[in-house]
Amino acid sequence: AEARARYTNRRPASAALHQKALEVLPGGNTRSVLSYGPFPTAMERGEDCRVWDLDGQEYLDLCGEYTAGLFGHSEPRIHDALHAVLRRGTNLAAVGAGEERLARLLCGRFPSLQQVRFTNSGTEANLMALTVARAFTGRGTTLVFRGGYHGGVLTFPLTGSSMATLPLPFVLADYNDSEDAAAVARAHAGDLAAIIVEPMQGSGGCIPATPEFLASLRALADETGALLIFDEVMTSRMSAGGMQARLGITPELTTLGKYIAGGMSFGAFGGRADIMALLAEKLPHAGTFNNNVLSMAAGGVAMGEIFTADVAEALYQRGEKLRGRLNAVGTAAGLPLCFTGIGSMMTVHFRQPAPRRGYAATPGEEALRELFFLDMLEAGIYLARRGMVALSLPVGEAEMDRFVDTVTEFAESRRPLL
């Protein structure tokens, strides 16, 4: 209660905006993930890895726009590319060189991509990948995993069967449970069109899939004739060619999104050329902004010049090191505080040992998660409300030291609650 009161007192402009926004936006926002009580902090501007809220307070941005903000807020090469496009006009209603360039870059990097199509979001990319899989196999059912998130209308519950999702035939199995996946897939083998999986459940709490689990899904797809789809919307940052390149497991289809267009709206789905050929034949795929010149130009620079293989590897290693340091804080203090993740993405959990799949947090864990978020904000560190960090390229050693110090202080000052 005290942390909430402090939060409210420091943010009169955000509170006032929220009151007005409630009148015209359900919940006062247009993205569910940004809805939290008592009201969300509204941001006004950003520079490198810093953001400023409506009340003028500065934060170190470790939220990294839920992975879409990989380049920070003021990468000059991306800004130059965008300005150059603006001078040439934005809505040309025609194919252009930018989309061919970006498609070629992506196909050159991700092992599964022989051909690719663009969309405006990761959600759309997944909807299209599922549509392609159904059309290609002539089957209907998709195997998904509990706790998975593939976009707003593709949210899968941890328990029970109520799904905030489309009325498509989905069947659910437990994440990181090869036996369960095999049992469910075999029960539906005759109608199984696709197995879609995040190589790490991002929204579900940065829970990595074990390599054995993903390899078993590869074998299961081969056995049943279903297409394996890797949703690498978040994990594509883990190397030049995403988690599929790191693990040496190649799905039939891959979906991408987030940072790839340098921070502009983006999604993509692609894979084997004989499957993608459907789109050139009988499967319609339209979308006014699919090849919008801003996303295409920024993406070409982002992936062609800035986020090179070396930069991707260095970011991965920095994240591994940071997570190790953060986990040492909990271990040294003997506290139930851990960070799960891969490379530059991580989420805090108030339990030990680290979870291997999603779980229903206890009210105590939920309260600690909120307190963690509020204490970090108070110390000038902005992360996702659920305790997720996505490092951006401008985050350096000094910023990471500051985060480790702040988490250490949290562990000390909140020790009685942990």
CB contact at 8 A, 294 and 92: no
Stretch of 97-105, 197-205, 293-301, 399-407 contacting ligand PLP, by CB under 6 A: 197-205
Q: Which of 65, 75, 99, 198 binds ligand PLP (CB under 6 A)?
A: 198
Contact indicator for 194, 226 with CB cutoff of 8 Å: yes
Instruction: Verify binding: residue 123, ligand PLP, rule CB under 6 A.
Output: yes
- Among 53, 175, 258, 382, the active-site one is 258
Site for ligand PLP contains 246 (CB under 6 A):
no
Nearer to ligand PLP, 11 or 150 (CB): 150
Does residue 28 interact with ligand PLP by CB under 6 A?
no
Kindly state the smallest distance separating residue 126's Cβ from ligand PLP, in Å. Answer: 6
CA 275 – CA 221 distance, rounded (Å):
15
Q: Answer yes or no whether residue 234 interacts with ligand PLP by CB under 6 A.
A: yes
Spatial separation of the C-alpha atoms in residues 306 and 393, rounded to whole Å: 10
Q: Is 231 an annotated catalytic residue?
A: yes
Q: What are phi and psi of 71, to 5 degrees?
A: -90, 5
**Cβ pair 74, 393 in contact under 8 A:** no
Contact 226, 185 (CB under 8 A): yes
* DSSP characters over 276-336: HTHHHHT-----TTTT-HHHHHHHHHIIIIIS-HHHHHHHHHHHHHHHHHHHHHHHHHT-S
Q: Which residue, 120 or 250, has its beta carbon nearer to ligand PLP?
A: 120
Taking the complex as a whole, how short is the minimal distance between the CB of residue 281 and ligand PLP, in angstroms?
A: 27
Q: What one-character DSSP code corresponds to residue 64?
A: G
Catalytic residue, from 7, 59, 149, 382: name it. Answer: 149
**Residue from 224, 228, 154 nearest 191 by CA:** 224
Q: How far is the CB of 120 from ligand PLP (least distance, A)?
A: 8
Check residue 233 for interaction with ligand PLP (CB under 6 A). yes
Binding mask 262-281 for ligand PLP (x = CB under 6 A): -----x--------------
Indicate the helix (H) or strand (E) that contains 408.
helix 397-413
- DSSP percent split of the chain into helix, strand, coil, nearest 5: 45, 15, 35
Q: Rule CB under 6 A: is residue 355 a binding residue for ligand PLP?
A: no
Binding mask 80-99 for ligand PLP (x = CB under 6 A): --------------------
Closest CB 284 distance from ligand PLP, rounded Å: 20
State the residues that interact with ligand PLP by CB under 6 A.
66, 121-123, 126, 149-151, 198, 202-203, 231, 233-234, 257, 267
What amino acid positions are annotated as catalytic residues?
Answer: 149, 231, 258
